[in-house]
Structure 1
């Protein structure tokens, strides 16, 4: 069993290893980012609504999943005029009409 060592190895400019003893105990690093909570919550609500609607459109049974993935970021990157046709093509294999879903989704993502 290997012993835990608090030494650090680095190299000088000539490639010679330099071993230094780390006197301090393990440092705690926390990485945090500030997110707009309201925007994140809105995005989550849209994704949950979209999941439920896609299950209906694709006529999924309980425990079954649909075969497509609608990425909101991909839709937002498109020009507004292209969004409807992009989603229409993506949902072409749906078993139910998709126009109302697409219109509602486009309306909801305007706030993002």
Structure 2
């Protein structure tokens, strides 16, 4: 089978598989099956990220004194925080997201910044 990339420019990369010429199905037109291209990431980094996200959810349920389903709509984007220049900017962004939390958030923010220190963004593939 030969892999041919789609000439269309779209948001997601697509790969089409065609039956090679010279096969026993020469009378039929080639069948195109659509597949998605995925990027491989370091499993250890993915595990760290998953553990961090679970910790964030646990902390938010404590801060908002509610169940996970009742946490207000907010998204703490770790990649966005990693893109920021320094911890002061990161802390300000997290505090901005937690503006409607009535409990003190300083300890949560400090622990979060400590946990993301040394993490890598997942939006770019890791090279071995």
When normalised by structure 1's length, the TM-score is 0.69
Q: Is the 8 A contact 1:87 1:102 kept in 2?
A: yes
RMSD: 2.4
Q: In the comparison of the two structures, how many residue pairs are matched?
A: 92
Once the 2 structures are TM-superposed, how far is the Cα of residue 65 of structure 1 from its aligned partner?
2.6
Whose Rg is larger? 1
- Could you tell me which of 80, 84, 87 is aligned with 1:74? 80
Once the 2 structures are TM-superposed, how far is the Cα of residue 71 of structure 1 from its aligned partner?
0.9
- Could you tell me which of 36, 46, 50 is aligned with 2:52? 46
- Separation (CA, whole Å) in 1 of partners of 2:33 and 2:75: 40
Structure 1 counterpart of 2:107 = 100
1:31 and 2:37 aligned: yes
When normalised by structure 2's length, the TM-score is 0.61
